[in-house]
Structure 1
């Protein structure tokens, strides 16, 4: 919190040694002035997001031992992958927030789904962070989802730090990867570390800013922090001399090509700092954490829909970017994840809900570490908090004190897959209706209804088919309501207004439904039908939704 926000007579807690005696993940200081770094980890599937997330928490001493999604022996599942489907499939299905301390900073880290079927969840997260860490698989290079996510970050003005992951496995050459980034993404890579040893023979990295050799030592299964040695050029052993000299030669070529870091160009999105790592072995993870503190931007001013700007030191404001239930099977808590934009949050404070203008009491607030939650009394710009059982809040909602502010909504994306859903057991219709309503509020799928279909047979619209599997799994395991799906032959969705909805009712080749936010959605059998309808009825509004992978 900025000192100007302190009440008269308030004392800032500066006793770092006393704070260090508490378990790292639970440290919370009243009137906490420590700087924040809030970022997302994003990538194509299987590039190592969840492993990297956990390795970062391990290096910050927030956890004692890292694990893989498919734990072996005594190794645990990653703390950020807690859903049963995530553990079974070995992929992240929902985003997860982790908050921990590192070098007297507060880190708010969000792990995101990599699979394109869950693009909407990833894009919601990108609306709530100040920077992103992009993982690139050393063996596969730039993959389709990587390219799409880079473009989204560019559109949102989010600076990106690139990590070439899995350098412990055979892969492409580092110079080839740099060329690929510049050529395909049109952004200048500026490596800060350079690998010593080719892909598959990872000895360590050359720190390009001081020309030291950071030599790594493996630990059993990579479950603990890998020991490091910092060596000068004269101290490199004979065993490493040949690969060290090759790294130095390539480093000099990069310098001649002006591939050195420039902070202004990085923040402007013109360059991306690059590091080499193996998250599975915990190689390079400590350097990444240090880099985030040094280079990643702190929370800054944020513009509302009317052009009003809130500075971090202004009155309190926050926006909801995610709603999640089912994190603990023993409780039916519903958590609304909110990013603090400005001011100080104090648990129990009464705020205003921007959408309704009504007061909203924040009685139960928690800080989040994967699926673990801890009550939080205060939070500050950049922090992510969970508001428990805040049933009035939806994804995209703004809450504030002082002058009104409302932040832009997170867009819904164009669904391409459509199914009707009905209760598999009519005796459990109450549970069915409650479950579908909850998943709709979370944005797991878009739920479309009409007077004709009613609540008994709504239409589920998804960016990708895996979303339907999530619906089925959660309906059975959380709401005890098996469901039946029936595929619809629609492929295209368009938005319309009430007049357009009325004019299109009964028209062949399309169906008019309504989202829970009141938006009218028209489903068409194919693009030809949608375009023909728009051409033949120019007076009717038919607006395309943003593409889920764009």
Structure 2
């Protein structure tokens, strides 16, 4: 039973530079998977037309994704779990953490802009973790770069080998569909049907079929034959083992907004993408087909349902079978917890889960027990590794703008920080609070959510700090002396660990010389 459930599951993240069409592709995958009946207009300001995966009010208003959303659906005998991540660089930390919970990735690239800054950063993380990557080159209905030039750019900029598994018929105004190289099938769409699934297709099993010339014209048909012959001659046959090891990226072309190439991508994905994989812990490697349950928390979200002010921890199941109302060990706290209402997701729509398997993501209602990176087991004392934490780059002092709402203010800041959207630091016996982020937009999101979800107003005031370093030392006397001499620049994080705030790297280098026994850490997990 366990092996059968594992084999049918695929969990992947969708990543991209902002505006490459990532959330639109997610919509269309859900559409083809039968999970939704109508695709949302991602940039619409109307709540009823907002994208399924963009459920927070600020996402609907701004037309951007600022939090990872989880969606699951069944397709051709497979249970597919999609994690749609924020594209905006200010929310990269959420995306990096999400990459620890997936077994593969679909990277969306805009055919007009090609490889962009955030694309490079995300691929660097994928390569570091050897995550298998499929590349979807989007917006082929626009006048963009030539497909062969795009492939060369991908290989050069992202330092990964590519292999086209579909090929576009034309580009921009001449774009007519895609040829499925992997399965040797051609699909021609009779029109651009944005809202519904395009059913009216011509299917040909052979490029030499004269029907091709009739459908798209002699010249485009001949161009397609020549390009496909060139692709097959230049590129090695697709190697599944190289893809799963993270060295070879299959490439698909299409237009997500117009449903071109999406079904080809999904059909090939379920065939080649890896099922749930083994995970490293501080003790040993956990195999998914072990009988005992293990899982870890990779995301926490407060107020997923604004009417109930709930707080949900997202748990990636790594091994065994998860069961409702069964006690599991929270290894950091060393206590047993059971969950009466675990949920599965379609963005913000939730349904009760009785059981779940490796590769699934379940939402656990949390009364404040969880932090990102926490591990659940059936008793074994271990911790899953590799949940990244970044030193913030921008700091603001946060102040309560309404003294009558101090309780709401404290609760809101505490819960939002637990979600990982920002980090909180204290000075002067917690009378001063600093919020540290990796991007400016996070302050806007915090302010918006504090007001709309907690009824608390807050203001942010600029301070001169540019870096936070956690400090430790084997010589306690030396550490205390350092803390005293830098009292105006020292604070603590939420866990009470000492943190040194600096204006520049020069400050850190100076203190390292003055206090050689003190160690400066980039993250809180040294």
Q: Do they superpose with TM above 0.5?
A: yes
Query: 2: distance between equivalents of 1:436 and 1:47?
Result: 32
- Specify the SS of the correspondent of 1:464: coil
Q: Is residue 466 of structure 1 aligned with residue 448 of structure 2?
A: no
Q: 2:411 aligns with which of 434, 446, 461?
A: 434
Aligned to 1:24: none
1:40–1:131 Cα contact (<8 Å) kept: yes
Greater mean alpha carbon deviation, residues 355-364 or residues 109-118: 355-364
Question: Aligned partners of 2:230 and 2:8: how far apart in 1?
Answer: 36
CA distances 1:349-376 after superposition (whole Å, capped 9, x unpaired): 1000011221111222000110111111
Which shows bigger deviation, 415-424 or 229-238?
229-238
> For each residue in 1:101-144, what CA deviation from the matched residue of structure 2 results, as whole angstroms up to 9, or x when unmatched?
11111110010001111011001110000000000000000001
The equivalent residue for 1:345 is 322
Q: Secondary structure at the match of 1:335?
A: strand
CA offsets 1:407-437 (integer angstroms, 9 cap, x no match): 1151211211001111100111011111111
Q: 1:505 to 1:149 in 2, by over 3 A?
A: same
Q: Alpha carbons of 1:418 and 1:200: their partners in 2 closer, same or farther (altered >3 Å)?
A: farther
Structure 2 residue aligned with 1:85: 58
Equivalence map 1:207-356=2 (5 Å) = 207-220=180-193, 222-227=194-199, 228-231=201-204, 232-233=206-207, 234=209, 235-238=211-214, 239-356=216-333
Cα 1:296/1:542, change in 2 over 3 Å: same
List per-residue Cα deviations over 1:170-205 (Å, max 9, x = no partner).
110000000001111221110000111124432011
TM-score, normalised relative to structure 1 = 0.90
| 1:310-349 deviation line (CA, Å, top 9, x unaligned) | 3333310110000001222211111100000000111111
| Shift in alpha-carbon separation, 1:259–1:33, aligned structure 2, 3 A | closer
CA contact under 8 A between 2:11 and 2:103: conserved in structure 1?
A: yes
RMSD (Å), alpha carbons: 2.0
Distance 2:45 2:90 in 1: 28
Show the counterpart of 1:13: none
Q: Which residue in the other structure is 1:492 paired with?
A: 467
1:358 to 335, 345, 355: 335
SS at match of 2:98: helix
CA deviations over 1:270-294 (Å, ceiling 9, x no partner): 1100000111111111111112211
Tell me how far 1:32 sits from its aligned partner.
5.4
- Out of 504, 523, 539, which is 2:517 matched to? 539
What is the number of equivalent residue pairs in this alignment?
516
Q: Which residue of 2 aligns with 1:175?
A: 148
- Which position in structure 2 is the counterpart of 1:162? 135
In structure 2, the residue matched to 1:2 is 2
Give distance in 2, aligned partners of 1:544 and 1:389: 29
In 2, are the aligned partners of 1:366 and 1:385 still within 8 Å (CA)? yes
* Separation of aligned partners in 2, 1:113 and 1:475: 20
Give the structure 2 partner of residue 59 of structure 1: 32
Structure 1 stretches (4+) deviating beyond 6 angstroms?
72-75
Cα deviation per residue 1:141-172 (whole Å; 9 max; x = unaligned)? 00010011011001111100000011111110
Q: Matched residues in 2 for 1:147 and 1:35: separation? A: 31
Structure 1's 151 and 409: CA in aligned 2 closer, same or farther, altered over 3 A?
closer
Q: CA deviation at 1:459?
A: 0.5
1:303 CA drift (Å): 1.9
2:499 to 513, 518, 521: 521
CA 248–535 in structure 1, closer or farther in 2 if over 3 Å, else same: farther
Return the alpha-carbon distance in structure 2 between the equivalents of residues 308 and 332 of structure 1. Answer: 37
Contact 2:9 2:79 (8 Å CA) reproduced: yes
Q: Write the distance in 2 (CA, Å) between the matches of 1:532 and 1:246.
A: 64
CA distance in 1, matches of 2:10, 2:313: 21
For 2:483, which of 505, 510, 525 is the aligned residue?
A: 505
Cα distance in 1 between the residues matched to 2:174 and 2:417: 48
Q: Give the match's secondary structure for 1:288.
A: helix
**Which structure 2 residues correspond to residues 104-119 of structure 1 after superposition, within 5 A?**
104-119=77-92
Equivalent in the alignment of 1:394: 371
Residue 44 of structure 2 corresponds to 71
TM norm structure 2: 0.94
Deviates more, 1:256-265 or 1:375-384: 256-265
Q: Does the alignment pair 1:101 with 2:36? A: no
Deviations 1:207-262 (A, max 9, x none): 22344322123344x01112332123212034333223222212222222234311
